[in-house]
């Protein structure tokens, strides 16, 4: 009996030693992962089946469980539809089977409505979402939407949702870059529908990183600031945070901010444009020792609005307005031109897509002075504008008659 006891003790010590050599177990991903699937008529049946298979392959190896990672699938169509909510399936294989069983709904591509639906019905705590866990959205799209995507997507990012976008090649780069979480090169993928499997391992790894607990995240990056968010790591009674911001430029000034233990976010402002900053979140606690978290963020280049407005081709009822466009990495997402009579009256607006820098204004009144304002809209949500005055000629003014040609002179005499 003593021999078996000694042997058991030796085996136990060996197991403990082996476990210590391997180090502590990796933290289990936890959070809520929402797949947004374009199920509208703009997607062919073949593309839909390929995307559905891709999402199933993406989900199969994920460590899903009731107290860990949960997944949900929402269709984009005329009306949003939940294929399955968070918590229904407790394994990656079960989620894969549920995704494969999804059928295409057809209808319009109302992605904005689906995003607003996700915010209210799935990600909101009032709807049963778990507070304090990471939230991730994976949107697979063919590139188009029948309704605006920007405002509802920004509301999700304001909640702390990390947004990954996979476009099958027909999307607008500037619009999708603005919709994805920053930096866009990490969260936005352009890939042919037949090559989706190629990005699956890399995207799955990025998802797991985003779903790790105790993760410091950045959002709302502009030319002079950004917002930080993190899950609850402390409480008011257990400690406090020290937030440090250090510019990479030698001439920059380091900044430091102390926050209470119940804080889960902070916005830095008045920063330099086009600059790298090292961020450190240091939890200070004797009750729950937690390692510091680090992040590097680059602010956007300074946004420059339209310049040198030129009015041309002026007619009694129309004119053309042109401007020097906003160029560079902070190029505008688009422009809108507003015009109205200087002496009062209804103003009108014309939207101009990014890449264009002129438009013709029609339906004007003859003999009227107008104020024309060109506004550039940027991914940060801010706008830059410039105005100019223009006056249409009076259509009833008759043209002055041309003077008659002079009479011919005397004929030359021959010599």
The alpha carbon of 248 is separated from its chain's Cα centroid by a whole number of angstroms, namely 25
The alpha-helical segments, DSSP class H, found in 25-149 are 45-59, 92-100, 111-118
Secondary structure (DSSP) of 298-340: EPPPPP---EEEEEEEEETTEEEEEEEPP-STT--SEEEEEEE
For residues 145 and 13, which has the higher predicted lDDT (pLDDT)? 145
Q: What is the CATH number of domain 229-298?
A: 2.60.40.10
Rounded mean pLDDT of 302-308?
Answer: 73
Q: What's the Cα-to-Cα distance from 358 to each of 310, 349, 351, 377, rounded to whole Å?
A: 9, 14, 11, 15
pLDDT value at position 407? 62
Among the CATH numbers 3.30.70.1150, 3.20.20.70, 2.60.40.10, 3.40.50.300, which is that of 307-391?
A: 2.60.40.10
Residue 285 pLDDT class (50, 70, 90 cuts): confident
Show me where the domains of the chain are located: 31-210, 229-298, 307-391
Adjacent-strand bridge partners of 318: 315, 362
What pLDDT, in 10s, does the model give residues 193-233?
999 999 999 999 888 888 876 578 888 887 789 999 988 88
Instruction: Express each pLDDT in 241-251 by its tens digit.
Output: 999 999 987 77
Res. 108: pLDDT tops 80: yes
Tokens of 409: 């002179």
Residue 263: its pLDDT value, please?
92
Return the pLDDT at 361.
Answer: 95
- pLDDT for 328 equals 56
> Do 307-391 and 229-298 have the same topology in CATH?
yes
Sorted by sequence, the CB contacts under 8 Å of residue 17 that are 6+ apart come out as none
- Report the range out of 217-226, 289-298, 336-345, 400-409 with the highest average pLDDT: 336-345
How far is residue 155's CA from residue 157's CA, in Å, rounded to a whole number?
5
In this structure, what token pair is assigned to residue 132? 């304090």
d(CA 208, CA 293) in angstroms, rounded, equals 17
What would the pLDDT profile of 23-71 be if each residue is shown by its tens digit? 333 456 778 999 999 999 989 999 999 999 999 999 999 888 877 889 9
For residue 383, is pLDDT > 60?
Answer: yes
Peptide bond between residue 183 and the one before it cis (omega within 30 degrees of 0): yes
CA pair distance 248, 254, nearest whole angstrom: 9
Residue 20 pLDDT > 60, yes or no? no
Rounded distance between C-alpha atoms, residue 284 and residue 236, angstroms: 11
The CATH fold assigned to 31-210 is Rossmann fold (3.40.50)
Instruction: Supply the DSSP string of 70-81, one letter for each residue.
Output: EEEEEEESSS-E
Q: Please list, in sequence order, all residues whose beta carbon lies within 8 angstroms of the beta carbon of residue 345, skipping any fewer than 6 positions away.
A: none
Question: Which has more confidence, 265 or 325?
Answer: 265
User: By three-state DSSP, how is residue 222 classified?
Assistant: coil
Return the minimum-mean-pLDDT range out of 76-80, 120-124, 225-229, 337-341. 120-124
């Amino acid at each position: 009996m003593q021999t078996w006891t000694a042997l058991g003790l030796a085996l136990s010590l060996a197991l403990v030693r082996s476990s210590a050599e391997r180090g502590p177990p990796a933290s289990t991903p936890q959070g809520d992962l929402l797949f947004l699937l374009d199920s509208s008529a703009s997607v062919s049946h073949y593309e839909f089946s390929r995307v559905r298979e891709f999402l199933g392959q993406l989900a199969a190896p994920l460590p899903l469980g009731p107290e860990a990672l949960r997944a949900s699938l929402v269709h984009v169509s005329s009306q949003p539809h939940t294929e399955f909510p968070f918590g229904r399936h407790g394994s990656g294989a079960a989620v894969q089977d549920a995704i494969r069983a999804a059928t295409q709904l057809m209808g319009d591509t109302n992605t904005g409505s689906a995003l607003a639906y996700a915010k209210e019905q799935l990600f909101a705590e009032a709807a049963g979402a778990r507070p304090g866990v990471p939230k991730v959205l994976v949107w697979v799209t063919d590139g188009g939407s029948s309704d605006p995507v920007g405002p509802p997507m920004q509301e999700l990012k304001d909640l702390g949702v990390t947004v990954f976008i996979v476009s099958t090649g027909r999307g607008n780069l500037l619009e999708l870059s603005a919709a994805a979480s920053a930096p866009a090169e990490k969260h936005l993928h352009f890939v042919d529908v037949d090559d989706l499997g190629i990005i699956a391992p890399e995207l799955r790894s990025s998802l797991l990183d985003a779903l790790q607990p105790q993760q410091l995240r950045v959002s709302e990056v502009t030319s002079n600031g950004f917002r930080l968010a993190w899950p609850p790591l402390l409480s008011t009674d257990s400690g406090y945070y020290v937030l440090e911001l250090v510019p990479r430029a030698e001439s920059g000034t380091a900044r430091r901010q102390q926050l209470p233990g119940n804080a889960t976010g902070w916005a830095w402002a008045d920063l330099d444009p086009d600059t790298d900053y090292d961020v450190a979140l240091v939890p200070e606690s004797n009750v729950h020792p937690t390692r510091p978290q680090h992040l590097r963020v680059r602010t956007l280049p300074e946004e420059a609005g339209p310049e040198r407005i030129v009015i041309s081709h002026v007619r009694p009822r129309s004119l053309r307005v042109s401007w020097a466009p906003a160029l560079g990495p902070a190029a505008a997402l688009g422009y809108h031109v507003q015009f109205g009579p200087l002496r009062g009256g209804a103003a009108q607006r014309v939207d101009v897509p990014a890449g264009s820098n002129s438009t013709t204004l029609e339906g004007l009144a003859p003999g009227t002075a107008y104020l024309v304002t060109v506004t550039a809209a940027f991914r940060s949500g801010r706008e830059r504008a410039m105005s100019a005055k223009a006056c249409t000629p009076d259509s009833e003014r008759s043209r002055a008659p041309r003077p008659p040609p002079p009479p011919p002179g005397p004929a030359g005499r021959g010599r």
